[in-house]
Amino acid sequence: MVKQLSKHSISEELKELLSSVDHVQKIEKNRFLFQEGEDADQMYIIQSGRIQISKISPDGRELSLRICQKGDIIGELTLFTDDATYLLNAKVLEDAEVAVIKKDYLERELLTNTELAFEYMKWMSEHFRKTQTKFRDLVLHGKKGALYSTLIRLTNSYGIKRPDDILIDIALTNQELANFCGTSRESVNRMLSDLKRKEVLELDKNKNKIIIKDLQYLKDEINCENCPIVLCSID
């Protein structure tokens, strides 16, 4: 049987503790859980489905930051800030259920529940390291590096190991990939064609999914230092 690579690092305890949720909300594909500028008074934990976090710049360009699934926390940036509006957009990629946690409730909880606070700090810390290494790749190795890094992260988060290759089990258009890299659709398309030619990957045509055949090639190209896999994911 196939096995998903991704290791979700949010601890059982944290999930447990956070489970004092206000309620659970269902939301369907292509809708927004929240959008930039909206009043922000809650945080979410995904129960099912997939949600993409992105920033849209005034000139219309979109920068995608994460794709999140079961167990991931989103809306976390609203915590501990007085300027309580969302800074990012959360678009639902696949019908989702999210557990809603009220911001002020959680803040109060964190003030009294030491263990929760500790677990939360731990999560935040890891989340920070993850974000920073991600951006580092984006800046340091040009657009090619940005794409390769994104592919590696997608593999770690959504890869399904198969005998001879790894299927990235999430359908993304070239444009969506480009948004992760801060580049253009055409550039991504050309780079993917290139990688196909080099037999680094294949495209599962009718399903819009990518199959990685030579992960090491991608890693070598961006001087991947084989950081802990938990730091090298897309969520």
Partner DNA sequence: GTGACGGTGTGACTTTTATCACACCATTAT
Partner DNA sequence: ATAATGGTGTGATAAAAGTCACACCGTCAC
Kindly compute the dihedral angle of the four CA atoms of residues 75, 80, 81, 85, in this order, to the nearest 10 degrees. 20
Rounded Cα distance between 104 and 108, Å, is: 6
CA dihedral sign of residues 185, 226, 117, 157 = positive
Residue 141: alpha-carbon gap to chain centroid: 20
**Which of 30/223 has CB closer to a copy of itself?**
223
**Site track 75-94 with DNA (rule: CB under 7 A), x = hit:** --------------------
Contacts of 122 (CB under 8 A, 6+ apart): 11, 14
37 binds DNA (CB under 7 A): no
Partner whose binding site includes residue 144, from DNA, a copy of itself, none (CB under 5 to 8 Å by kind): DNA
Three-state DSSP at 82 gives coil
87 binds a copy of itself (CB under 8 A): yes
The footprint of a copy of itself on residues 31-60 (CB under 8 A) is: 55, 57-59
Sheet of 3-4, strands arranged across: 3-4, 159-161, 166-168, 209-212, 201-204
Three-state DSSP at 6 gives coil
Among 30, 48, 81, 216, binds a copy of itself (CB under 8 A): 81
Among 1, 23, 114, 206, binds a copy of itself (CB under 8 A): 114
Is 180 in contact with 64 (CB distance < 8 Å)? Answer: yes
Among 79, 90, 167, 172, binds a copy of itself (CB under 8 A): 79
For 68, list phi and psi in degrees, rounded to 5.
-115, 150
Pick from 3, 4, 74, 86: nearest CA to 40: 86
Partner whose binding site includes residue 66, from a copy of itself, DNA, none (CB under 5 to 8 Å by kind): none
Helix-strand-coil split of the chain, %, nearest 5: 40, 25, 30
**Which of 124/171 has CB closer to DNA?**
171
Among 29, 38, 128, 199, binds a copy of itself (CB under 8 A): 128
**Site track 191-210 with DNA (rule: CB under 7 A), x = hit:** -xx---------x--x-x--
Among 8, 182, 202, 217, binds DNA (CB under 7 A): 182
12 binds a copy of itself (CB under 8 A): no
Residues that bind a copy of itself (CB under 8 A): 55, 57-59, 61, 63, 65, 77, 79-81, 83, 87, 110-112, 114, 117-118, 120-122, 124-129, 131-133, 135-136, 138-140, 146, 182, 223, 225, 228
Residues that bind DNA (CB under 7 A): 142-144, 173-175, 182-187, 189-190, 192-193, 203, 206, 208
